Amino acid sequence: MASTSSTSPTAFTGSSSYSADLQNAITRAVGFASLPLQVLQNKQNDATDQRTALQSLSSTFQSLQNSVNALNNSVGSGSYVANLSSSSVASASTSSGVTAGSYSLNITSIGSHTNTMSANGLTTVSDPSSGNIDSATSYTLTVDGQSFQISNSSGNLNGLANAINASAANIQATVVNVGGSSSPDYRLSVQGRKYAATSIQLSDGTNTSLLNTLSTGSNVTYQVNGQTSTATSDSRSIALSPGLTVNVLQTGSTDIDVTQSTSGISDALTSFAAAYNAVVDELAKSRGQSGGPLSGDSIIYSLSDSLRNIANSGAPSGSIYSIADLGLTFDQNGHLSFDPSALSQATSKSLTDVQNFLGTESSGGFLKGANDILTGIEDPTTGSLPQATQSLTDELSSIAGNISSQQDRITLLQQTLTAQMSKADATISSLQQQVTYYTTLFTTMRQNNSNGNG
């Protein structure tokens, strides 16, 4: 809720017998002047509550959008999984273009990187943040015959390593201590990123070679499906087949079976039902006699229609006519429940029908229909919820400005009235003191005259 400022006038210390009446006059005047401010503050509170409710709705619709995205990822190539007989030898992932199949993979070498290090006899560096192996500030780095100009403005070894890493060369530079803690000797270590024999050299302006090759890298080598010939790769990530990528972990053999599975679709439909029901419950908060700040707002009816349209998205495909054929059914409260056995029966008849009904977010079917509707609701620029939220944000900004102006006007009125009433009170007090003085004087004179006559 938005905070409100006190508009009660500050009491002045009066000395006349009418000071309380004068204070009451100020209080009444400021109270009447504060009525428009109270109206603005009520509008501010209402708009704040409405915006909070819209943000809660947006959060639930975004969760529903995420569940649709997950369902989209579970169909097509996402329905394929790769199972390995030896997960210690390699891991595998599937992507677009993958098909079911079986493979045998024999990793004969996991390959290695080429390693180089700054040569003996160069300047010994005990502190890489201040010292360097060479006094130059410009260097030439050569990697597999390609030259890169390196500028080390810092003049220290750390800066040289950073400058090398900032170049476009496909290598990795680090600073290592080969001398121990008692007599540190920091060197520049440069390693090739590829699993291959990489030629690496660094020279200064005098063409002095600064690196020695410690070990020459080698390719990853492997055999597929019993072939006697050996394939090579300069990466441990191997495209074994269209849509099938294998990540080499160690030498050895493993079988890889790529199969189509519906478990991902089942999990995604479970999540979709839960997210759908969360939206239903959030919309319900704005209906009925006890409805929240958005009760009666047209956006609630619009969003409710959109939610029903999502459930009715998609066109019949073979044996699948609606989401009910996938196991998604409604109860009397509009909540979805998912029966995995119904999906299992549908896919056993025709997985193709299921996938065609679902489609994708970009090419039609249930998923495209649902995604288009949710985009119309959640798009940051054109979505109905972001636009409604922004409209309330703009309104709150305008109200805040009007409240500030009203508070300034009331404060000025309060200060003016207080000054005027203080002046009036001082005048009344002075007159009352004069009355008291003359009354006392006349009383004394009468008493004196009465005593003299006696």
Q: Give the span between the Cα atoms of 195 and 284, in whole angstroms.
A: 59
**pLDDT for the residue numbered 18:** 83
Q: Could you tell me if 9 and 414 are in contact, meaning their C-beta atoms sit under 8 angstroms apart?
A: yes
**pLDDT for the residue numbered 14:** 76
Does 205 map to a domain?
Answer: yes
Does one domain contain both 208 and 277? Answer: no
Does one domain contain both 243 and 95? Answer: yes
> Does the structure show a pLDDT above 90 at 336?
yes
Q: Could you tell me if 157 and 132 are in contact, meaning their C-beta atoms sit under 8 angstroms apart?
A: yes
Global pTM exceeds 0.85: no
Q: Helices 19-74 and 263-284, interaxial angle, to 10°?
A: 160
> Residue 256 — φ and ψ, nearest 5°?
-125, 120
Does one domain contain both 267 and 236? Answer: no
Does 206 map to a domain?
Answer: yes
Q: Give the span between the Cα atoms of 245 and 82, in whole angstroms.
A: 10
Domain-terminating residue out of 381, 416, 448: 381
Does 448 map to a domain?
Answer: no
> Does the structure show a pLDDT above 70 at 6?
no
Query: What 8-state DSSP symbol labels residue 207?
Result: -
90-94 vs 171-177, strand pairing mode: unpaired
Distance of alpha carbon 32 from the chain centroid = 47
Token digits of residue 219? 């390719």
Q: Give the span between the Cα atoms of 358 and 60, in whole angstroms.
A: 22
Does 168 map to a domain?
Answer: yes
**pLDDT for the residue numbered 8:** 54
Quick one: pLDDT band at residue 10, thresholds 50, 70, 90?
A: low
Listing DSSP states for 284-348 in one string gives HTTSSTT--TTTT-HHHHHHHHHHHHHHT-S--BTTB-SGGGGTEEE-TTS-EEE-HHHHHHHHH
Mean pLDDT of the 36-50 span: 91
The residue type found at 441 is: L
Express each pLDDT in 196-213 by its tens digit.
999 999 999 787 899 999
Q: Could you tell me if 143 and 169 are in contact, meaning their C-beta atoms sit under 8 angstroms apart?
A: yes
Domain-terminating residue out of 330, 351, 381: 381
> Does the structure show a pLDDT above 70 at 453?
no
**Structural domains in the chain (count):** 3
**pLDDT for the residue numbered 450:** 82
> Does the structure show a pLDDT above 90 at 96?
no
The residue type found at 100 is: A
> Does the structure show a pLDDT above 70 at 9?
no
Does one domain contain both 133 and 208? Answer: yes
Q: Give the span between the Cα atoms of 241 and 257, in whole angstroms.
A: 12
186-192 vs 115-118, strand pairing mode: antiparallel
> Does the structure show a pLDDT above 60 at 355?
yes
Q: Give the span between the Cα atoms of 313 and 355, in whole angstroms.
A: 14
Express each pLDDT in 412-431 by its tens digit.
988 888 888 888 888 888 88
Does one domain contain both 104 and 231? Answer: yes
Residue 409, helix vs strand vs coil? helix
Distance of alpha carbon 422 from the chain centroid = 58
Does one domain contain both 184 and 269? Answer: no
Q: Give the span between the Cα atoms of 206 and 196, in whole angstroms.
A: 29
Does one domain contain both 209 and 269? Answer: no
Does 351 map to a domain?
Answer: yes
Q: Give the span between the Cα atoms of 338 and 330, in whole angstroms.
A: 9
Quick one: pLDDT band at residue 374, thresholds 50, 70, 90?
A: very high
- Across the chain, what does the average pLDDT equal? 92
Domain that holds residue 354: 49-76+263-381
Does one domain contain both 105 and 196? Answer: no
Cβ neighbours for 259, distance < 8 A, ≥ 6 positions apart: 80, 81, 83, 100
Does one domain contain both 165 and 55? Answer: no
Residue 362, helix vs strand vs coil? coil
Does 447 map to a domain?
Answer: no
> Does the structure show a pLDDT above 50 at 144?
yes
Backbone Cα Rg of the chain? 41
**pLDDT for the residue numbered 449:** 83
Does 185 map to a domain?
Answer: yes
Does one domain contain both 102 and 128? Answer: no
Mean pLDDT of the 176-189 span: 95
**pLDDT for the residue numbered 2:** 43
The Cα-based distances of 359 to 269, 419, 434 in angstroms read 14, 77, 98
Mean pLDDT of the 57-75 span: 95
Does one domain contain both 229 and 173? Answer: no
Does one domain contain both 105 and 223? Answer: yes
Q: Can you count the helices (H) and strands (E) in the chain?
A: 7, 17
Does 146 map to a domain?
Answer: yes
**pLDDT for the residue numbered 3:** 46
What is the strand order of the sheet 115-118 is part of? 171-177, 186-192, 115-118, 211-215
Token digits of residue 412? 């000025």
Instruction: Find the range with the poorest average confidence among 162-176, 234-248, 305-319, 413-427.
Output: 413-427
